[in-house]
Amino acid sequence: MTSDTSPAPASVLPVLLPFRASQPRRFAPLRLQFIHAVGFIGLALLVGGAAHAQSGADQLSALGVIWKWFPLLMSGFMFNIAISVLSMSLGTIAGLGLGLLAISLNRPLRRTAWGTTQFFRNAPWLVLLFFAMFMIPFQFTIFGTTYPLPDWVKAVIGFALPVMANVSEIVRGAVGSLPSGQWEAAESLAFSRRKTLWLIILPQCVKRMLPPWMNLYSLVTMATVQASIVGVTEMLTLTAQVHAAEGGRPDLLAPLYGFAMLCFFVYCYPIERFTLYLERRFHLHQ
């Protein structure tokens, strides 16, 4: 450029600047701010203090009780996480299969998959859990060897059923949300349906499925406490046992169950934040 036109004036011209949606911040795993700390400490003091005020001098304070039983309660919580991870894995694999059947070109297959999805999606999780508990035998025999089927395995299956149905629906929704031009382009390039799905459609669906899938995981984790109703020794069951072991003091109820709540919150809140972050990111960089 050899022209000697004057450089653009530095003054601010009266123009409306284009709107820029704010870039998503890089994900900070736990952006706990001061206000959160205040909230947590406040809650702990309130619950602990109230409990302490009611307890006699010879009794352990609520925080003391929680501290004493902390390893046991944590082992129970780990069990909740294990159940949630396993049922999520199992349910996701089954749900992917069911979701693929639900978009099959074969009408009977598609209708069957649709029916299965709707049935398990619209049944209360606790009912499904009961069914899994009481319908699945406690042991089974293959080639003369008897394998026991512990309660928690049945609980995993019980939770995997609604997960399967929800994942199936997530898959179907994601595939349906892709523009039809992707199918047309693949067809016109002589891709078979199977190759179109695996090479073109499903890879694009992964990021669309991730946020609802993580949301579902959060829900499953919180639902695992229902397993206590059918006798699995997970955190809620152990909390009740700890309460009983401490003499069933009424002042311990709120702190103990509050602690269980806190554990789930601390575990699920980051997942929730990460889901939100992914949703924002995928929305902007489509």
Partner 1 sequence: MAAPAPSTEIDHGWTPDQPLVRLVDVHKSYGTIPVLRGVSLDVRKGEVICIIGPSGSGKSTLIRCINALVPIDSGTIRVEGQEVNDPDLDKLALRRKVGMVFQQYNLFPHRTALQNVMMAPIHVLKQNRKEVEARARALLAKVRLQGKEDAYPGQLSGGQQQRVAIARSLAMRPDVMLFDEVTAALDPETVKEVLVTIRDLAEEGMTCILVTHEMGFARELADHIYFTDAGLIVEHGPPAEFFANPKDERTKAFLGQVL
Which positions touch partner 1 (CB under 8 A)? 179, 181-182, 184-192, 195, 199-200, 203-204, 285-286
Q: Where are the alpha helices (DSSP H) in the chain?
A: 34-54, 62-102, 107-121, 125-135, 151-177, 180-188, 193-195, 202-223, 235-245, 250-284
Residue closer to partner 1 by CB (options 75, 177) is: 177
Residue closer to partner 1 by CB (options 52, 280) is: 280
Residue closer to partner 1 by CB (options 45, 199) is: 199
- Whole-number Å distance between alpha carbons of 155 and 228: 10
The nearest distance, CB 201 to partner 1, in angstroms, is 10
Residue closer to partner 1 by CB (options 30, 189) is: 189
* Tokens linked to 43: 């809650």
Bridge partner residues of 150 (DSSP): none
- Whole-number Å distance between alpha carbons of 267 and 260: 11
Query: Angle at CA 263, nearest 5°, toward 50 and 244?
Result: 60
Residue closer to partner 1 by CB (options 55, 204) is: 204
Residue closer to partner 1 by CB (options 111, 195) is: 195
Residue closer to partner 1 by CB (options 32, 210) is: 210
The nearest distance, CB 137 to partner 1, in angstroms, is 42
Q: What DSSP state is assigned to residue 23? A: P
C-alpha closest to that of 173 among 127, 121, 217? 121
- Whole-number Å distance between alpha carbons of 26 and 277: 9
Asked if residues 159 and 217 have their Cβ atoms less than 8 Å apart, the reply is no
The nearest distance, CB 205 to partner 1, in angstroms, is 10
Bridge partner residues of 140 (DSSP): 147
The nearest distance, CB 223 to partner 1, in angstroms, is 33
Asked if residues 175 and 243 have their Cβ atoms less than 8 Å apart, the reply is no
* Tokens linked to 89: 């894995």
The nearest distance, CB 203 to partner 1, in angstroms, is 5
The nearest distance, CB 115 to partner 1, in angstroms, is 28
The nearest distance, CB 213 to partner 1, in angstroms, is 18
The nearest distance, CB 202 to partner 1, in angstroms, is 10
Bridge partner residues of 139 (DSSP): 148
Residue closer to partner 1 by CB (options 149, 210) is: 210
Asked if residues 241 and 187 have their Cβ atoms less than 8 Å apart, the reply is no
